[in-house]
């Protein structure tokens, strides 16, 4: 019998306890991974390849205040600006469906490809979209979810503007940071509400990354002291602003994660002590046979580490499978659309498990180290 078989047999001598310990570690790590992924999804700015060259300009008062359409020609003339489109939240809902569906934005159809360089759409679909005023293009995720095909018609009731609009799908795109949204013609919206000359935001494409800070400053200065002062920022900062609005939710999830980890340590350490207490006599015999404290520590550590790692593999593996192959938007009633278990998070959970294995071994090892052989041999249970 080699030492590793000895450790292995010891770990499984009480199969039920080993199973229960592994299961409780697995359940907790599953939860930890879920919380960390949720935290990441909530705080992650939506990144896309074209984002470094895009500027978002909103009303300085707040995102919900509109901007005058007349600002457009001023922005277009700024050196370094390649394309400008309006970006107006329509807030449409399907009739009789209260829940949020997908975001729809009214934009300048001609500038769409210029500004959204990462948009993947066939030329025929783009041409069809630009040709017809009531045409719209929709991201692949939403198209799949609502079973939309090119040529479909549907009506959305706006929660922002009076009335509703009928759209025809001219194309299905992918490749943007958010392949859920729908884009349609700003003119179509304007006509339906009597052309008030207002837009939601401006999204601007700059020529090079060096132009970015200059363009941002020029836009901000251009509209200072006007009826509608503008706050321009890089797309990344704009997205980060959204996250800041979530407020204390982040702290809440982070503190729950801490509690989960703490509970995990507590329970596992207690199980480990239980397992060691049960075989005090055997460990005393090992001592009597000449095994050193260090070696006994390795026995206990290896066992506790092994149980924790087994739990980690099951817990993290289950989380990975559920969130990678399951329909997360159905599970969370549409709150989360993507729920990516990243290598980073899996690594973090594995690290927690490894530390757990080590910490749990400390107290029982100390007890064993302190025990005198005679007392250990006398122990009855």
Partner 1 sequence: MALPLKYNFRNVIVRWRATLATILGIAMVVAVYVLVQALAVGLEKSASNTGDPRNVMIVRKGATAESSSQVSLAQLQTIRYWPQIAHDENGAPLVSADVITLISQPRIDGRGEANVSVRGLTPIGLKLRPQVKLVTGRWFTPGKREVAISQKIARRFTNFHVGDSFRTAGNTLTVVGEFDGSNSAFDSEVWMDADEARSLFDRQNYSSLLVRVTSPQAAQEIITRIEADKRLPLRAEAEVKYYGDQTATAMPIRILGNFLATAMSIGAIFAAMNTMYASVGARTREIGTLRVLGFRRRSVLAGFIIEGALLAAIGGVLGCLLALPLHGYSTGTMSFNSFSETVFEFRITPWLAAKGIIFSVVVGVIGSLLPALRASRLPVIAALKSV
For binding to partner 1 (CB under 8 A), which residues are involved?
A: 16-17, 20-21, 23-24, 27-28, 30-31, 34, 60-65, 91, 98, 100, 157-160, 162-164, 225, 227-229, 231, 240-241, 243-249, 252, 256, 259-260, 262-264, 266-267, 269-271, 274, 278, 332-333, 335, 380-381
Burial 55-69 (b: 16+ CB within 10 A, else e): bbbbbeeeeeebbeb
CB of 200 to partner 1, least distance (A): 12
Contact (Cβ atoms closer than 8 angstroms) between residue 248 and residue 76: no
- Smaller CB separation from partner 1, 158 or 186: 158
CB of 246 to partner 1, least distance (A): 6
Q: Which lies closer to partner 1 via its Cβ, residue 61 or residue 321?
A: 61
Give min distance, CB of 267 to partner 1, in A.
4
Contact 193/162 with Cβ under 8 angstroms?
Answer: yes
Q: In what helix (H) or strand (E) does residue 304 lie, and over which residues does it extend?
A: helix 293-325
Nearer to partner 1, 137 or 284 (CB): 284
Shortest reach from residue 356's CB to partner 1, in Å: 13
Minimum separation from the CB atom of position 43 to partner 1 (A): 11
Residue 76, SS3?
Answer: helix
Distance from the Cα of residue 295 to its chain's centroid: 44
Whether the CB-CB separation of 28 and 318 falls below 8 Å is answered with no
Q: Min. distance of Cβ 249 from partner 1 in angstroms?
A: 5
d(CA 117, CA 129): 16
Query: Which of 5/244 has CB closer to partner 1?
Result: 244
Query: Cβ(356)–Cβ(308) under 8 Å?
Result: yes
Angle between helices 15-43 and 343-370 (to 10 degrees): 140
The residue (of 3 and 20) whose beta carbon lies closer to partner 1 is 20
């Amino acid at each position: 019998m080699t030492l590793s078989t000895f450790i292995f047999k010891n770990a499984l001598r009480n199969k039920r306890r080993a199973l229960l310990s592994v299961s409780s570690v697995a359940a907790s790590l599953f939860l930890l991974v879920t919380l960390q992924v949720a935290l990441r999804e909530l705080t992650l700015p939506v990144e896309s390849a074209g984002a470094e060259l895009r500027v978002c300009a909103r009303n300085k008062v707040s995102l919900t205040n509109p901007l005058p359409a007349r600002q457009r020609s001023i922005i277009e003339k700024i050196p370094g600006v390649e394309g400008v489109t309006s970006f107006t939240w329509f807030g449409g809902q399907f009739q009789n469906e209260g829940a949020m569906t997908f975001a729809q934005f009214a934009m300048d159809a001609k500038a769409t490809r210029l500004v959204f360089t990462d948009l993947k759409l066939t030329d025929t679909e783009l041409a069809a979209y630009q040709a017809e005023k009531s045409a719209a293009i929709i991201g692949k995720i939403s198209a799949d979810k609502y079973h939309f095909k090119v040529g479909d018609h549907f009506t959305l009731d706006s929660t922002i503007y009076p009335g509703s609009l009928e759209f025809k799908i001219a194309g299905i795109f992918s490749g943007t940071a958010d392949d859920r949204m729908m884009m349609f013609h700003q003119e179509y919206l304007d006509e339906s509400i009597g052309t008030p000359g207002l837009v939601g935001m401006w999204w601007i494409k700059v020529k090079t990354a060096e132009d970015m800070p200059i363009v941002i400053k020029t836009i901000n200065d251009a509209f200072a002291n006007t009826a509608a002062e503008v706050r321009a920022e890089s797309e990344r900062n704009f997205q980060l602003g959204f996250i800041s609005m979530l407020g204390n939710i982040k702290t809440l999830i982070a503190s729950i994660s801490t509690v989960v980890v703490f509970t995990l340590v507590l329970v596992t350490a207690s199980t480990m002590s239980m397992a060691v207490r049960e075989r005090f006599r055997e460990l005393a015999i090992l001592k009597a046979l000449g095994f050193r404290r260090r070696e006994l520590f390795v026995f206990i550590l290896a066992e506790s580490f092994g149980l924790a790692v087994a739990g980690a593999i099951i817990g993290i593996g289950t989380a990975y499978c559920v969130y990678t192959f399951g329909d997360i938007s159905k599970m969370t009633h549409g709150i989360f659309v993507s729920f990516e278990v990243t290598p980073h998070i899996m690594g973090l959970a594995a690290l927690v498990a490894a530390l757990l294995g080590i910490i749990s071994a400390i107290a029982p090892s100390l007890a064993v180290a302190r025990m005198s052989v005679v007392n250990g041999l006398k122990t009855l249970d």
